[in-house]
Amino acid sequence: MASPSRKLNHPVSRTLAHTTLTSSPPVGAHSPFRLRAGAAAPYNDPDALRAEAAGLRWLADAGAVRVPSVHGHDRHRLVTDRVPPGRPNARVALRFGRGLAALHAAGAPAFGAPPPGGPEDAFIGLAPLRNVPGTDWPHWYAEHRVLPYLRGAVDNGTLRPAEAGVFEEVCERLPELAGPAEPPARLHGDLWNGNVLWGADEQVWLIDPAAHGGHRETDLAMLHLFGCPHLGRVLEGYQEAAPLADGWADRVPLHQLFPLLVHSVLFGRGYGEQALAAARAALGR
C-alpha cells in the first residue's frame, strides 16, 4: 500500500532470520536475517507482530508460494529469513500466478477468519484490521472491510458526509455486484508490489501479510491497484490454474474499495477521490 511519498507498509523495516530472541541478530546488508522491530510496529501493539508471524506461517502451510520462515517473535521483534533479491521475469511471473491460485485454493474456515494463532484485532499497514468470521461475503465485506474505513474517512474529513452515499449504495447492492459465490480463500491480504519479492533463486516470495479468509479477487485487485511486474503473465498463470468467474475484471474496482479506503484514512484526500471513483465504477457509473 502506498502514500504519495511512501508505501503504507514502509514505516517499518520487516524481517527474515535464524537466531534467538535473547540477543540481537546480526542484521545488515549481507545478513541472512531480517528484523521487524516491535518499537516501530503499528501503534506499538504486540499483537501486530503476533498477527504477522501467524500470517506468514499460515501462508507457508499452503505450500503454494514461497514465504520466509519465521524463526521466532516476541512482543518486541520478529525474526525471519532474508530473501536475496533478484529480478522480475515473465517465466517466474507465470509460475507465481499458478502458485497464488493454489494459495487461495488452500482456503480458510470463513471470510474474515484470522490465521491459526493470530489475533482477531490485527493490522493492515498502520490501520487496524478486525478479523471477524462470516459466512456471506457481500455482507462481511460491507460490514468489516468497507464501512469501518468509510466512517474513519468521513470522521477525519478525508471524505465529505455527502460523498458517503455512493459507498453505502455499493454496500446495499453488494449481493448483486459481487458475482458468483466463492468459498473463502486464503488471502495474503496486503498484496501490493512491495510485498512481492523477486528472489535471486527465481522464485517469488511473499512478505508482510495481513492474512485472513477472504475473496480471492481482492488479492488480485490489489496487485492491479499498485502494479506488479509482468502482471499479465501472473494473471495468465492464475487463470490456467484456477479460472476466475466471468466478469472478474469488472469487479476489480469493487475489491479495490477496501485498500483505497484504508489509504484514505491514513493518507488523505487524494486516496479518498480514488475511492470515490472506484465506488462509482463498481456501480457502473
What residues are labeled active site?
A: 190
Q: Are 187 and 219 in contact (CB under 8 A)?
A: yes
Cα(240)–Cα(246) distance, rounded to whole angstroms? 14
| Helices within 117-227 (DSSP H only) | 137-141, 147-155, 164-177, 216-226
- Which three three-digit cell numbers place residue 35? 528484523
Q: H/E element holding 198?
A: strand 196-198
Cα(279)–Cα(216) distance, rounded to whole angstroms? 19
Rounded alpha-carbon distances, angstroms, from residue 76 to 39, 40, 46, 72: 6, 9, 7, 11
135, with CB counted inside 10 A (0-12, 13-18, 19+), is exposed
Helix (H/G/I), strand (E/B), else coil: 47? helix
* Residue 125 identity (one-letter amino acid): G
Cα angle 31-37-38, degrees, rounded to a multiple of 5: 160
Hey, how many other C-beta atoms are within 10 angstroms of the C-beta on 170? 23
The C-alpha cell 471513483 sits at 277
3-state helix, strand, coil in the chain (%, to 5): 45, 15, 40
Cα(219)–Cα(197) distance, rounded to whole angstroms? 15
